[in-house]
Amino acid sequence: MTEYNNDPTQVDPPVDDALRDADLVEERATQEGPGFGRWLLETLLMIAVAFLLAQGIKTWVVQPFVIPTGSMETTILVGDRVLAEKISYRYSEPSAGDIVVFNDPTERHPQLIKRVIAVGGEEIDIRDGHVFINGEQLDEPYLHGLITDPGTEPMPFLVPDGYVWVMGDNRPNSGDSRFIGPQPLTAIQGRAFVTYWPIDRIGSL
């Protein structure tokens, strides 16, 4: 014989509420599960984008360099960190006085840094400890009284188009165009414009 519960104080849990709670638990699990995966994917994508941006900036905009020799003392010291920008030389050629980073033709160092002294079409001569460009003595306050001796390249020298004549500010200790000849524009990596390390040497070039 079937018995019926006639006690109004005893109520079974509503079926709809139980189903609703189960759906909420399942939905929360579904949201939390892919949440970590989505976060990990976004993080990896951000890292990849940052890496690509850094490489693009280094290749096309600005690049840091460590100074390997003392050929530019006292303007730049061994171990100084400089930034070289790569934009201006896409639209113009180097000018006399620019400090440029270029590939070392001797391959003793990855790059060298020197000052542009003469550009294509100019004649350079070295005599009596001074530099002459197209017959006029060049004013070089950055030498701080150092004299310039000739090297192995014959003087006077006409710089060909598409090349620059570069020399270090530390003339007695600089292996530059006096010995390695003029450098092609295609070898120039950029124009050094600031020293950013060490802190006490931060400044424009």
55 and 79, same domain (yes or no): no
Query: Is the domain of 69 the same as that of 52?
Result: no
Instruction: State whether 193 and 96 are in the same domain.
Output: yes
192 in any annotated domain: yes
Structure confidence at residue 2 (pLDDT): 42
Alpha helices in the chain, H assignment, sequence order: 15-60, 88-91, 177-180
Residue-wise pLDDT for 108-165, tens only, equals 999 999 999 999 999 999 999 999 999 999 999 999 999 999 999 999 999 999 999 9
Residues 178 and 198 in one domain: yes
Q: Which pair of tokens denotes residue 107? A: 């391959």
- Residues 115 and 174 occupy one common structural domain: yes
Asked if residue 190 and residue 135 are part of one domain, the reply reads: yes
Residues 85 and 114 in one domain: yes
Identify the pLDDT of residue 39.
Answer: 81
Q: What local confidence, expressed as pLDDT, does residue 157 receive?
A: 98
Q: Is residue 188 part of a domain?
A: yes
39 to 26, 47, 193: CA distances (angstroms): 20, 12, 40
CATH number at residue 136: 2.10.109.10
Residue 6, in any domain of the structure: no
Residue 117 and residue 195 in one domain:
yes
Enumerate the active-site residues: 71, 114
* Side-chain half-sphere exposure of 85, counting CA atoms within 13 A: 13
- Number of domains the chain is built from: 2
Is 1 among the domain residues? no
pLDDT of residue 46: 72
Domain ranges, residue 96: 64-204
Per residue in 156-203, pLDDT tens? 999 999 999 999 999 999 999 999 999 999 999 999 999 999 999 999
Find the mean pLDDT for residues 76-99. 95
Contacts of 109 (CB under 8 A, 6+ apart): 68, 69
Residue 72's pLDDT is 97
Same domain assignment for residues 53 and 148? no
For the segment 15-55, what is each residue's pLDDT rounded down to a tens digit? Answer: 455 444 444 444 454 444 457 778 877 776 677 665 555 55
Q: Could you give the percent of the chain with pLDDT greater than 70?
A: 75
Provide the pLDDT for residue 35: 79
User: Does the structure show a pLDDT above 80 at 4?
Assistant: no
User: Do residues 16 and 94 share a domain?
Assistant: no
Task: Tell me which of 22, 45, 60 is where a domain ends.
Answer: 60
* Nearest CA among 198, 200, 186 for reference residue 90: 186
